[in-house]
Amino acid sequence: MEWAEKDVHKEDYVRPALRRMERQHRFWRLLHSQEHGNRANLPLQHAAVCHIERELLRRGVAFRKDDDAFLATDNPQALQAAADRFRAPLIRKRLDYWSWLLGPKFSPKDRQAINLSRRYSIQQVEYCRNLVFRRNFPIHKLFERSCDLGLLRLTPGKITQVFGFRLHKKLRGKLQTVLDKVEHGHHVFRACGKNAVLRMYEKFTTCLRLEVLSNNLRDFGLRKSLDELDSVRQTLGAVTDRFAAFEAGALNVQVDLPLLQRLALAIVRGRSKVAGIKIHDTRMIRLMEVLLHSGAKIGGWRSAEMHQAILTAFGIQAPHYTLNQLRYDLRKMKAHGLLERHGRRCAYCLTDKGNKVALLFILFHKRICGPLANSLFHRAPRPDPPLPRSSKALTAKPRSVDPAPSSTPRRLNSERQTLRSEVQEPSFVR
């Protein structure tokens, strides 16, 4: 072993001897160096997924996985327990094995001479919370609204509250919200604070992922040692809980439900097809208003009683709304699950869904559509317009028209046409 010459690259210094050694099938020479050894960056995400997968297979738990996401499992408690067992002692054991297998080998004498030891620290850590859905529809709607509200309501004060930082003038780093477009149709919502980032995105159209990433654990008052992994998990888990609570408070509404669109569609029952229910159908509005009456709702409504109540309440004559038309409307409501029979009697009453839909239809017409249409299109009657000036010629005394000579019949016809256009009733023209 020897030192390399000054101001000479080690590769250039070793290359001539290396070529001679290759021809003689000998070993390379070793050089002293004052440079520090490189730190190995070992990603543990794949190792964690493999560990959880082996634990579930060993316990006989069925699951479905895509990349690093577990999409479905028969035993969610076993899945969470397997993830919780991936702790610092197990990680250190696997790191010792792979560093010994891939790293340089030293004899026991060399180990005693240089006091060899390995220390593992956390350079970058991510902690995520997955909200798993059966369908993609609620995920996409929730993500759209979360992005809209997050860009508006996640102020710097809210961001520091979610991360658990203290907001002051000397705060280092960024406090901002960004909506990134990774690829077509795939967006990522980011909230940045110091050296940490909160991310929210859709994963495999199955789960909505809330993820917190930290590049410097000192921002959270934590050390980078691997022994602090449990504290890191608790702290970052609390950050995701606060972020989920903020989103739940902002999204304290249901996602868009196309109720009116579904009711308007036809339904196939057996070999027949039942028409849908439109919100502008006047007959259905009248029928729902009568069915909502609580006077005879206890024992249900018979068809004849219902027909008579509609005619009396709205002043309709029997030929304009027959009993067959009523039965057709009742059939539509029953097909959409809004109406049911009262026991074994031939009487009908609204279901729970029918009560809500009937209230929605009636209140929409009486509280929203009616007042809005009245304020926009109802105007006071205008006064009668004044008579045109040309009508005064009717009261004037007609003048006598001298007969034109027989040699100019075309000129007489043109004068008659002009006179008819000026006077509406030219009975004096011959």
List the beta bridge partners of residue 210.
Answer: 129, 200
Residue 148 amino acid letter: D
Backbone angles phi, psi at 43, to 5 degrees: -70, 130
Two structure tokens written together for 79: 């899945």
Q: Answer for the pair 94, 196: CB distance below 8 angstroms, yes or no.
A: no
Global pTM reads 0.51
Return the SS3 of 205: coil
* Separation between Cα atoms, residue 56 and residue 89, nearest integer Å: 20
Return the SS3 of 81: helix
Q: Answer for the pair 11, 38: CB distance below 8 angstroms, yes or no.
A: no
Per-residue pLDDT of the chain (430 residues; tens, 9 = 90+): 566 667 777 667 777 776 776 655 544 444 444 444 444 455 566 677 888 888 888 888 888 887 777 878 888 888 888 888 888 888 888 888 888 787 777 777 877 777 777 788 888 888 888 887 777 777 877 888 788 777 777 888 888 889 988 888 888 878 888 888 877 667 889 999 888 999 998 887 778 889 999 999 988 989 888 888 889 989 999 999 999 888 887 776 554 567 788 888 898 888 888 899 988 888 999 999 888 875 555 677 888 888 998 999 889 999 999 999 999 999 999 999 899 887 777 888 888 888 888 888 888 888 788 777 777 775 665 666 665 555 444 444 445 444 444 444 444 444 444 434 443 444 333 3
* Separation between Cα atoms, residue 102 and residue 113, nearest integer Å: 22
With tokens 């070999």, the residue in question is: 271
Q: Answer for the pair 159, 193: CB distance below 8 angstroms, yes or no.
A: yes
| Domains observed in the chain | 1-33 (no CATH), 121-256 (3.30.530), 259-375 (1.10.10.10)
Two structure tokens written together for 428: 């004096």
Q: Answer for the pair 64, 73: CB distance below 8 angstroms, yes or no.
A: yes
* Torsion angle defined by CA atoms of residues 346, 350, 351 and 352, in that order, rounded to the nearest 10 degrees: -160
Look at strands 207-214 and 125-132 and give their pairing. Answer: antiparallel
Cα 233 vs. chain centroid, distance in angstroms?
28
With tokens 């040692």, the residue in question is: 225
Q: Answer for the pair 121, 225: CB distance below 8 angstroms, yes or no.
A: yes
List the beta bridge partners of residue 188.
Answer: 180
Residue 240 amino acid letter: T
